[in-house]
Amino acid sequence: MATLAELYEFLETKQDDSHLDSRFSYDAFLPVEQPKARLEILTWWKIERLIEDENCNFDKNFIVSYFDERVKATNNQLLKYRYNYFISLLTNDNRYAKQSIDALIAVINTLLPKDKEDYPHVAEKAIEVLMSLIKRVKYKIPEATDLIWGVLESDYGYRTKMVCIRLAKEKGFFPSRDAKKIVCLCKDLLSLVKDSWRENCCELGLFYSSKIQGEAKPYMNFFYEALGDMEMGQLVDPATAPNNIAIPWMNEDHSQKAMAFYQKAGLTPKRNRAELAFRENKKKMVMLHFKIEKKTDKKIVEYFGNLEKELLEGKLSWLLENLSCPVRFLFPSYEQIRLRMSASKSTVEKLGFENKIMDINGNSKDAGKDFDLRQKYGIWLMNIVRNTVINMILTAVNIKQLTYSKLRKWFLKNTCFGIQLEYTRSGQVVTTTWFSQIDYGVEALIKQYNRFLQGKPTDWRLPVDILSIRFEGILRDMVGDYGGCVTKVGRDNSISQALLDDLLREPCLLQIFRKEDIEFFEYVFTAKGYNIRNYVAHAFYIPQDYGMIEATLVFLCILRLTMFSPKSKTITANMK
């Protein structure tokens, strides 16, 4: 059993940013002390993510009151910074941001590594927060600038100094007038740094060199030359391992980069030597050729050919109905795959490895026991979507069978998307349709299909963003109509709307859709597959991540929703 008194005593001497979970478990506190203990534990997590996480419910008044009390009670500046920073993000109140800056200026020097050559693990986050807050509230800029320059001009090692310079670049901390001073510092550091730090040092030097008015060229040439020398220094003589065919391929990459850097530095002799090395290396490159025979089942080809002919020569409604309930497209189900899967372990598991999956941000986690099942599901599904469904949709758009006006008419007249819904807004009942929530997303989708067919640049952001988010809202209404749970209660008894993962687990969903439909929804929107809903909702996608496949998958999910049959005569939407 732990007590708040013990926790406070420990925190008063804390001088690092390590989590408290390993020392103080939330469950170890008495129920009456748990709300305060929870806040203390969360204070050492990534506060920014906590505030943004819609699953993390906070009582603002309680947090502000509690942390105000703690700021007055503690003498530890590290705690004052964390408490005030938490409140400033939660309330967007600059008064707390300023108090956090005061505490940061007082504490940062104590967080720097004791061994001056070590990486500044503890100080890094504090410096980053200080720079972010300074940029936001424009408070104590001279004091903070003097503090950072004090570190840069001290006898700390290159790791600490480069972390400060990198963070300053990311946060726009230093004014342009300091650029030359920073460039000179980067030049001095270059002789000290090792390994990948050298490349980072040059990149920082190049960035700040570009800020120097009228004198940038000589400094930029210096760093470009250094980068070229680094690439040439990584060339390996193939004679040292004549049977290693990978060496020439790696050398090609290094010599190409070296040529580009020397070209930018205006160093023709060095550029020519790099090109000579490139040409000589080219002679030693070996490409292995493998013959892979791909057998095509003629019956499958004939089947889909006949299906395409039937659907494209018929009415649009027949095509859309088949896409809405794609039994004839032979979409997979987990049950079908299980019947075909071997009961033995996969090769990866036999070798003692664990399957891992990596998200769009490069974070990995255990794939889980059904990884092979989901992998086979994805391969089966995407073969059909890529090779048949998308081609059929594009053909329908190309021959004008599928247009936005025709699609709109079908949604409104032939499906549940034309049903009048009742929403309550500010005590007033407002009527609308589900199609009104997706119309501009569907219109954007058809527009991008047309642009693709015309060979023009496409942008799939609008259809993916709109349709994926609206899918969740419409599904919530459908679950609510069948008496399913569309809200959830947080730890503090606050009530919020159920999220997509919650909705897909609702038992009543099996009264509305087939099991295969739910599996498809999970594959498209959750971490079991493409995870589109989370990537869109949390803004993890960048423009390059949006594509025709993502847009088509979301569109197919919307079409499946048209199979819904209302249970009530009047649907009262659950989002009020």
Same domain flag for 303 and 160? no
Q: Residue 520: its pLDDT value, please? A: 92
CA distance 245 to 238: 8
The pLDDT of residue 548 is 95
Identify whether residues 167 and 316 lie together within a single domain: no
Closest among 96, 171, 87 to 127, alpha carbons compared: 171
The long-range contacts involving 87-90, CB below 8 angstroms and separated by at least 24 positions, are 87/63, 88/133, 89/47, 89/48, 89/51, 90/51, 90/58, 90/60, 90/63, 90/64
Share of the chain above pLDDT 70, in %: 90
- Give domain status of residue 557, yes or no: yes
Confidence of residue 412 (pLDDT cuts 50, 70, 90): very high
Same domain, 306 and 170: no
Q: Which of 174, 189, 224 is the last residue of a domain?
A: 174
pLDDT band (50, 70, 90) for residue 227: very high
Residue 151 has a pLDDT of 92
Residue 181, domain member (yes or no): no
Chosen domain end from 145, 174, 203? 174
- What pLDDT is recorded for position 497? 77
Tokens of 413: 């007249």
CA terminus-to-terminus distance, the chain? 43
User: For residue 381, is pLDDT > 70?
Assistant: yes
Percent of the residues in the chain that have a pLDDT greater than 90, as a whole number = 43
Confidence of residue 358 (pLDDT cuts 50, 70, 90): low
- The answer to whether residues 166 and 23 belong to one domain is yes
Residue with tokens 């997303």: 441
Domain check: are 354 and 492 in the same one? yes
Report pLDDT digits (tens) over 163-217: 999 999 999 999 989 999 999 999 999 888 887 888 999 999 999 999 888 888 9
* Per-residue pLDDT at 332: 85
- Per-residue model confidence (pLDDT) at position 400: 94
Paired with 2 in beta bridges are 29
Alpha-carbon distance of 535 to 558, in angstroms, equals: 18
Q: Cβ–Cβ contacts within 10 Å for residue 211, how many?
A: 16
Contact 174, 168 (CB under 8 A): yes
Handedness of CA 52, 54, 59, 63 (dihedral sign): negative
Domain final residue, candidates 130, 158, 174? 174
Query: What are the structure tokens assigned to 25, written together?
Result: 């478990």
* Whether 369 and 515 share a structural domain: yes
Q: How many CA atoms are closer than 13 Å to the CA of 3, on its beta-carbon side?
A: 3
Residues 56, 27 contacting (CB under 8 angstroms): no
Q: Which pLDDT value is given to residue 365?
A: 60
pLDDT at 351: 45
pLDDT of residue 330: 83
Residue 352 has pLDDT above 70, yes or no: no
What is the pLDDT averaged over residues 522-543? 87
When pLDDT is cut at 50, 70 and 90, the band that residue 575 belongs to is very low
Q: Does the residue 488 lie in any domain?
A: yes
**Domain annotation covers residue 252:** no
Number of domains within the chain? 2
Q: Which residue has the higher pLDDT, 93 or 492?
A: 93
Q: What is the pLDDT of residue 549?
A: 94
The pTM is what? 0.51
Query: Which residue has tokens 């967007």?
Result: 92
Q: How many CA atoms lie within 13 A of 263 on its CB side?
A: 8
Looking at every residue in the chain, the average pLDDT score rounds to 86
pLDDT at 184: 93
Q: Which two tokens stand for residue 59?
A: 């009582």
Structure tokens at 325: 């309930």
- pLDDT for res 52: 64
pLDDT in tens, 38-72: 888 888 877 777 666 555 567 788 888 989 999 99
> Which range of residues forms the domain containing residue 126?
4-174
- pLDDT at residue 375, rounded to an integer: 84
Same domain as 469, residue 323 = yes
pLDDT for residue 90 is more than 90: no
